Amino acid sequence: MINEKEIFQRTELLMGSRYLDLAERKRVIIFGVGGVGSWCAEMLIRSGITHLTLVDSDKVAVTNINRQLMATVKTIGQVKVEVLKERLLEINPNAEIVSMQVVYSPETAGSFKLESYDFIIDAIDSLSNKVHLIRLASQMPGVFFSSMGAALKIDPSYIRVDEFWKVKGCPLAAALRTRIKKLGGLEKKFLCVYSNEARENKGEKSFLEESNAPVSQWDTKKARINGTMSYLPAIFGMTLASLVVKDIDIHSGGES
Give the domains, in start order, of the chain with CATH numbers.
Answer: 15-251 (3.40.50.720)
Nearest to 145 by CA among 10, 12, 36: 36
Q: Kindly state the DSSP code that residue 111 receives in the 8-state scheme.
A: G
Confidence of residue 66 (pLDDT cuts 50, 70, 90): very high
- The answer to whether the pTM exceeds 0.85 is yes
- Across the chain, mean pLDDT equals 91
With b meaning 16 or more CB within 10 Å and e meaning fewer, what string describes 48-62? bbbbbbbbbbbbbbe
pLDDT digits (tens, 9 = 90+) for 26-62: 999 999 999 999 999 999 999 999 999 999 999 999 9
To the nearest 5 percent, what fractions of the chain are helix, strand and coil? 45, 15, 45
The arithmetic mean of pLDDT across residues 16-32, rounded, is 97
Who's near 103: CB < 8 A, 6+ residues apart? 57, 129
Mean pLDDT of 87-92: 97
Q: Are 62 and 213 in contact (CB under 8 A)?
A: yes
